[in-house]
Amino acid sequence: MITIGKVLRRISFKPVLITILMAGSIPVCPAQGTQTVQNQTRQPAPTTRPRTIKPTDKRTDSKITTEIETLRKRSFRIIVPPLMRSNLEGLYEYTHRINSGNEIKPDIKQAELSALQKSEMARSLKNEAVGLKNQGTAGSLRSAAIRLEESLQLWKGAGPLSQPGEIADALVQLGSISDALGDRQQAISYFQQSLPLWRAAGDRNNEAAALTQLGRIHTSLGEKQQSQNYYNQARLIVQTTSIMSASSSGVNSISREATTLFNLGKLYEEQGQQQKSFEYYQQAYARWQNTNDKTGQASTLNAMGSLAARSGQLPQAAEFFRQALPLWREVPDKRGEAVTLSNLGFVADAGGDKAKALDFYSRALPLWREISDRRSEATTLSDIANLHAALNRPDLALKLYLEALPLRRLSGDRRGEAVTLNNIGGIYASSGDYVKAFEHYFQALEIRQEINDKRGESVTLANLGFVHQATGDKIEALNSYQKSLEITRRTNDQYRLAGTLNSIGELFSALNNKQRAVEALEESVSIWRTLGEREHEKSSLALLAGVYSSIGDKTKSIEAYRLSLSTWKLIPPKDFIKGK
């Protein structure tokens, strides 16, 4: 049986003692160490004071039960804060449905409803689900999923009044929710179920969009062949749609053609073909300019800016984003504006202008709060914290990371939660508080292993190695570094591979295993040289020279020192500063 406690642990809420008054239940005693207020009683409001039910009271049992349930709900609203209440209500509803029948079923008596009533109720439930989904918390997402499942059951009973497009859209929403909650296999199932319904509805654009989502998820799972198959199907549909749009005329046909071109650009972007993607985005932008579609123009400018940023063309990226910003405000679209401000912050930070980046992120933050997007709010708080950490303001960085952490948990963002825990551990490690550093690194490692984030796991293992080394535990440090190295070789992260080898070489030298130290450091030097990382190459060469000297190989020691010095001279001043 699934309990509320089990579900809470799955989405990584911090343990919180909450007494929930259920009908006929006894309040749970607080755990040891929890402070309680003794000898104080909360007086109920006059409207909630229960009447004493005498034996002669002729009310039915169902009415009595209803009154008790009403009192329970009122008590729950008084005791539990609003945001936590929303999450717990969703979780309680979710677990109750599963425990009562192993499937989510609607509460209404469908057999007694007409087909028209079922169709209308299904539509209403779906709209309610969309609102819950937009809240972005783990509890609201699960509540949204329940309502969407209810709407599907209703549509099944609505007969000819059920629209395949509406059912397909509900399935896509469920797929999106499953993906957000980390259940990618379930997300794949929902998106696949939507495909024949989009075809039946004749909606080729949404069919292509569902295929693109399937391609993206399979890519994230490392299943490249399946991913490519879905992308190819989506591209064929979009190209066919483009030909049909070009054969018609009028504003609507131009808009459809622009949408098709944009979708082609997105497809090529997903597959890493940036030049083709950019060409299609340009064509889409020109057509949206012809129809004066501000949203289309802003979306495409944002897409082109992201492509330029990834290609390292930061000034061009910033220009695209700056052009998009007033268009979002003109629409108006708060989400689009917040995304663009965040993108401008990223570009400014990548270009070294941290003050400007801080300004952009700070302007995006209240917009995320205004539209209640908790996940993006947490991301922006972390971005601002990263900037303060880089500017040597660790106390302010830590405060912001700690503010972001519960938002990560509320939104069910496990990957983001692990990143934030890792960053908090880094702040504690740099300040010498190794106990707290260990605590947060271990929490991050557990999540990264749970969600199969190999790259993140290797990062946290290396960080644990650093803390073990700093506390003098060389054996545990070496163990952590070697685990990190094994994963890093598989992920082919050359930069991290060279750094980890450098740390391993240093440890082997300290443990008097000079041969292993030489092997690790020589490989590190070779990788740094290939990457063009002159400063890091110099550092590894200096360590290597020291090892050679300690084993009496004066010739190799002198050669390593000489290469270290020549590497130093090769570094232009501006590049050296940048490397710092």
- Please give the chain's pLDDT, 580 residues, in tens: 333 333 323 233 232 222 222 223 222 332 333 333 333 333 333 333 333 333 344 444 555 555 545 545 554 444 444 444 444 454 455 445 545 554 444 444 444 457 677 777 878 888 888 888 777 677 788 888 888 888 888 877 766 666 788 888 889 989 988 888 878 889 999 999 999 989 888 888 888 889 888 988 887 777 878 887 888 888 788 777 666 555 555 566 677 778 878 878 887 887 788 899 999 999 999 999 998 999 999 999 999 999 999 989 999 999 999 999 999 999 999 999 999 999 999 999 999 999 999 999 999 999 999 988 889 999 999 999 999 999 999 999 999 999 999 999 988 888 999 999 999 999 999 999 999 999 999 999 999 998 888 899 999 999 999 999 999 999 999 999 999 999 999 888 899 999 999 999 999 999 999 999 999 999 999 999 998 888 888 888 898 889 888 888 878 878 877 776 654 333 333 332 222 2
d(CA 142, CA 87): 9
Q: Is residue 13 part of a domain?
A: yes
Nearest CA among 201, 211, 316 for reference residue 271: 211
pTM above 0.85, yes or no: no
- Say how many C-beta atoms besides its own lie within 10 A of residue 509's C-beta: 21
d(CA 278, CA 268): 9
CA distances to 9, 18, 34, 218, 571 from 5, in Å: 6, 11, 18, 32, 57
Q: Is residue 339 part of a domain?
A: no
Are the C-beta atoms of 91 and 7 separated by less than 8 Å? yes
Nearest CA among 307, 35, 263, 4 for reference residue 139: 4
Expressed as residue numbers, the domain containing 18 is 1-25+63-103
d(CA 150, CA 108): 9
d(CA 202, CA 208): 12
- Mention every residue, 6+ apart, whose C-beta is less than 8 A from residue 334: 367, 370, 371
User: Is the peptide bond prior to 406 cis by the omega test (within 30 degrees of 0)?
Assistant: no
Q: Is residue 163 part of a domain?
A: no
d(CA 421, CA 385): 13
The single-letter code of the amino acid at 576 is: F
Q: Is residue 18 part of a domain?
A: yes
| Predicted local distance difference test score (pLDDT) of residue 328 | 96
Q: Is residue 86 part of a domain?
A: yes
Nearest CA among 224, 243, 168 for reference residue 199: 168
The single-letter code of the amino acid at 65 is: T
Nearest CA among 412, 354, 408 for reference residue 386: 354
Q: Is residue 575 part of a domain?
A: no
Are the C-beta atoms of 525 and 541 separated by less than 8 Å? yes
- Mention every residue, 6+ apart, whose C-beta is less than 8 A from residue 464: 438, 441, 442, 445, 480
Q: Is residue 78 part of a domain?
A: yes
| Predicted local distance difference test score (pLDDT) of residue 431 | 94
d(CA 255, CA 178): 31
**Run of H or E residues at 17:** none
- Say how many C-beta atoms besides its own lie within 10 A of residue 111's C-beta: 6
- Say how many C-beta atoms besides its own lie within 10 A of residue 356's C-beta: 16
Q: Is residue 533 part of a domain?
A: no
Distance of CA 411 to the CA centre of its chain: 9
Cα dihedral 386, 387, 388, 391 sign: positive
d(CA 482, CA 305): 39
CA distances to 69, 404, 452 from 42, in Å: 19, 33, 47
d(CA 370, CA 408): 17
Number of separate domains in the chain: 1
CB-count burial class (<10 Å; 0-12, 13-18, 19+) for 340: buried
